[in-house]
Amino acid sequence: MAKKSFFKLFAKNLKKSLGPGQYRANGINVSCVHCKHDWFEEGHAQLNTSLATFFNLDFANPTATILTCRQCGYVHWFYKKVNRID
Ligand SMILES: [Zn+2]
């Protein structure tokens, strides 16, 4: 039951932006951990207090960057700034 409400919350906080692109995080080009593809859809999730607690991140206003693989759909979560390359 807790899992269900988590995903509901997740969907609500997920925002769409831009089209697919290539990204770099911490100076390294991002490639899919599953299929090695390098094109991603970018999204952002504002982690509210309950979500922040869920992830054990108890500090102010956390925002995660989400890169979803265009090929296999694997979802990569980044808790740091991710730069778009193109
Ligand atoms: Zn992939």
Check which CATH number belongs to the domain holding 73 and give it: 2.20.25
Residues within 5 A (CB) of ion ligand 1: 32, 34-35, 37, 69, 71-72, 74
Residue 68 structural domain: 16-84
Q: What percent of the chain has pLDDT over 70?
A: 63
Between the CA of 28 and the centroid of ligand 1 the distance, in Å, is 17
Does residue 11 sit within a domain? no
Does residue 24 sit within a domain? yes
Q: Is the pLDDT of residue 19 over 60?
A: yes
Does residue 75 sit within a domain? yes
Q: Is the pLDDT of residue 20 over 90?
A: yes
Does residue 8 sit within a domain? no
- Rounded CA-CA distance 42/60 in Å is 22
Mean pLDDT value across the chain: 80
Does residue 10 sit within a domain? no
Does residue 28 sit within a domain? yes
Closest CA to 13 of 38, 40, 39, 49: 49
Lowest mean pLDDT among 22-31, 43-52, 63-72: 43-52
CB 85 within 8 A of CB 21: yes
- Confidence band for 18, pLDDT divided at 50, 70 and 90: low
CB 67 within 8 A of CB 23: yes
Between the CA of 7 and the centroid of ligand 1 the distance, in Å, is 21
Q: Pairing relation of β-strands 14-16 and 75-78?
A: unpaired
Between the CA of 40 and the centroid of ligand 1 the distance, in Å, is 9
- Confidence band for 63, pLDDT divided at 50, 70 and 90: confident
- Looking at the 3D structure of the chain, how many domains does it have? 1
Does residue 44 sit within a domain? yes
